[in-house]
Amino acid sequence: MKLLFLACLSPKTGNCTTAKRIRTHIESAGHTCELRDAADFKSSAEVASLIEQKPPFEGAIAIHLFKAGRLLLDIQVPFGVVFGGTDINEDVKVEQKRAVMEQVLLKARFAVAFTDKLKEEAEVYMMSQSNKIYIQPQGIKTEVATSFSWWEFLKSSGLPGEGVEDTHVFLLVCGLRRVKDPLYLLEAFSEWHTENPLAVLIIIGPKIDPLFTEEVEAITKRSAGVYLAQERSQEELHAAMRKSFAVVNSSVSEGMSAAILEAMDLEVPVVARDIPGNTALVQHEVTGLLYSSPQEFVSMSKRLLLDKELRDRVVKNGKRYVREHHSLDHERKAYQKLMDTLH
Q: 98 by DSSP, 3-state: which? A: helix
Q: What is the model's pLDDT at position 131?
A: 82
- Specify whether the CB–CB gap between 83 and 66 falls below 8 A: no
Low-confidence ranges of the chain (pLDDT < 70): 12, 127-129, 161-163
Half-sphere exposure of 327 (CA within 13 A, CB side): 7
Nearest to 168 by CA among 193, 149, 187: 193
- DSSP strand pairing (226-229 vs 246-249): unpaired
The pLDDT assigned to 130 comes to 73
| Residue 163: per-residue pLDDT | 65
Q: Name 49's Cβ contacts closer than 8 Å, sequence gap at least 6.
A: none
Distance CA 20, CA 28 (A): 12
CATH match for 150-325 among 3.20.20.70, 3.30.70.20, 1.10.287.110, 3.40.50.2000: 3.40.50.2000
Backbone angles phi and psi of 128, in degrees to 5: -125, 150
Candidates 3.40.50.2000, 3.30.1960.10, 3.90.1210.10, 2.40.30.10; correct CATH number of 2-139+327-340? 3.40.50.2000
